[in-house]
Structure 1
């Protein structure tokens, strides 16, 4: 028996043993049963894609809950970004309205930007936003945050490296 087959059998066993518990756990956090079903499936898809051995899990419910909670947070974050975008779009004149395809692409891009920013350490994110959104110089950022220009520059270099790396994931 190969490891590939053994892994699939382990996931199948985990699914058969605990998918019902996971659906109930998700139903308590969501309004729709269909959403709980979808996130349950997404949890097991993530497990399959990770290829991490699961045959020796000591706490399978905690493992499933951790993965599902991460998916839940991503879903809520995406919904918040989408609501904010749709609100801003609704306030635009009719002539500026976009096609549904363009809206979808823009929302997807906004979600990716949100995930990238949330993946940065808080101080790096603040420096990055002060530079890129507020247009402050490194010297101004350093003065505002009480740090050296060199530290601001190093933080920006790391932030730009994260942005660059995100394009190739």
Structure 2
């Protein structure tokens, strides 16, 4: 597909379905601003997968699938930020971070979340328990009701994922 064809296909898809997608997102999020942002993020994902456009028969189903992933990431990011802000609120004032440090820490937490996104839920939990809570592999195995060997495999997957994304 030439870049002119790609551009034309994306423009058509955007013109025909952006309004519908924004409305669909607004109903789920209850916020027009967030819906507009996530609609744009959805179309960015369309641009990242140009090979799909020529064979696309059900554009709204495709956009819905992409948008659900974008919304899921949005909610996960919000939950992560809320948990961080709750932890900050419980810190003594002398230990409170500056707004710049808070932003940097939130960005770092978001990067870690993205790094671990490809892991299975138990692998992600094992990695977090080890790296953030400092639990031993034996304690993680007991808590997750899995073998230590499985914990080691999950940790290797977590480290591989982090290293691959850092490059």
Task: For 2:21 and 2:13, locate their aligned partners in 1 and report how far apart those are by CA, in whole Å.
Answer: 11
Alignment match, 1:59: 58
Would you say the 8 A contact 1:7–1:53 is kept in 2? no
Cα deviation, residue 134, structure 1: 4.9
Alignment match, 2:91: 92
Cα deviation, residue 150, structure 1: 4.1
Structure number with higher helix proportion: 2
Tell me the TM-score normalised to structure 1 length: 0.83
Cα deviation, residue 103, structure 1: 1.0
Task: For 1:134 and 1:89, locate their aligned partners in 2 and report how far apart those are by CA, in whole Å.
Answer: 17
* Matched length: 166
SS of the equivalent of 2:29 reads coil
How do 1:57-136 residues align onto structure 2 when only pairs under 5 Å count?
57-136=56-135
Would you say the 8 A contact 2:22–2:36 is kept in 1? yes
Cα deviation, residue 163, structure 1: 1.8
Would you say the 8 A contact 2:38–2:70 is kept in 1? yes
- Return the index of the structure with the highest Cα Rg: 1
Task: For 2:140 and 2:31, locate their aligned partners in 1 and report how far apart those are by CA, in whole Å.
Answer: 45
Tell me the TM-score normalised to structure 2 length: 0.84
Q: Which runs of 5+ in 1 are unaligned?
A: none
Q: Which runs of 5+ in 2 are unaligned?
A: none
Task: For 1:35 and 1:139, locate their aligned partners in 2 and report how far apart those are by CA, in whole Å.
Answer: 43
